[in-house]
A and B are shown apart, each in its own frame.
Chain A
């Protein structure tokens, strides 16, 4: 067992867990932040994407212990149903959500990019989302959603 401390969505957490617990399991089973999804468990699908110190990472490919002392942002750390983040709003408005299973990961990947680059080209968006799979939408509306989100974020500033 190992005791780890980290900031999750701005809140300090401290838990004692098994050393081999993955970050995705820690977020879901221990913290019950179930917005982060596990599609494959091996880094192929991006459904489990979260931000660690602002960078997009696959939470299935990290042990929770590796993130000790760092800051994690999950989908729950963005907007809420009554107050959506501009990225979330854009996904809803554009129709970039179907079954929704890839959505939290897509939103987090978009978030990581838009924080650094608020005027992304279509190619930059595609590259930022290239670690995320979606089986429903065919991606077109997801890319449009991120374009819309970028516009919204520039307007907000």
Chain B
């Protein structure tokens, strides 16, 4: 285990002050479910000082709120809290569903949505849903505030555009059109406590004639940077989700994956599987 200096921040202001004071050595820690694993790995190599700033208990970053048609989730809200929130289960069921499938209960009780985002694993389960929702991330530092679309926040696997000294305080997104149907599907190596090999989030809304008028689709672990997959969405807009369209989506998603990630050893497995889960996830929305 790497040597650290531990500081507990009790407010956003205090956290920012710590980040400033220990610039170059500071790292934020939320639930610690990613950080602890990394610290343990680093044991063998690094001996430079590291200052951990614990932000888990900052109450201002722990709330789930509704403001008109805007939903705000504090970055320190845990996966358990999102999975169990009656409000979120009703408003954005696929977000609750995704968070309910992160790790096991012990991981969900500590792991936060903010940590999930900033860790920026391509397999992060909350991310495809938040991408589908066009979520914004809110950042604070001693220079002030900034707001970034989540899709622009990721610059590559395990890399975000967060600055040293910046704190992710909350995530916001607009409510889905009333009556939207959503789903989240995850494929891992086993059913419980497994990292997604692939995951996807989908939301669909149909007008009175049964034609799709709002469609959101995002997938994890199949492209270098997560984004809404317009290639799939546009197939459905203005139409009804017929088996022929589903079949088309199934083929298209594989093509998109290969185009962006190239052919890899896993492609032979991933291509048919991402196709199948795309088909069944969208089919389940009817």
Contact = CB atoms under 8 A, between A and B. Distances in A.
A93 interface: no
B51 to A, nearest CB: 9
B169 interface: no
Interface string B208-221: 00000000000000
Contacts of A18: 3
B39 interface: yes
Contacts of A149: none
A146 B39 CA distance: 35
A52 B103 CA distance: 18
Contacts of B227: none
B6 A43 contact: no
A31 interface: no
A62 interface: yes
Contact of A61 (B5, B6, B32, B192): B32
Give the size range of B's interface with the partner.
20 to 34
Interface of A (DSSP majority class): mixed
A42 interface: yes
A109 B108 CA distance: 13
B193 A63 contact: no
A151 B104 CA distance: 25
6 contacts: A2-B6, A19-B52, A20-B1, A22-B1, A109-B105, A130-B104
Interface of B (DSSP majority class): mixed
A-B interface, 8 closest residue pairs, ranked by CB to CB distance from nearest: A131-B104, A130-B192, A19-B6, A55-B109, A65-B6, A58-B106, A131-B106, A61-B36
Contact of A66 (B5, B54, B104): B54
Contacts of B183: none
Nearest to B3: A20
B29 interface: yes
A120 interface: no
A128 B109 CA distance: 12
A62 B109 contact: no
Interface string A98-138: 00000000000100110000000000000110111000000
A110 B8 CA distance: 31
Nearest to A41: B40
B245 interface: no
Nearest to B36: A61
Interface in A63-116: 63, 65-66, 68, 109, 112-113
Contacts of B37: 42-43, 61
Contacts of B103: 43, 131
A15 interface: no
B1 A66 contact: no
B81 to A, nearest CB: 10
Contacts of B106: 43, 46, 49, 56-58, 61, 109, 131
Nearest to A61: B36
A127 to B, nearest CB: 7
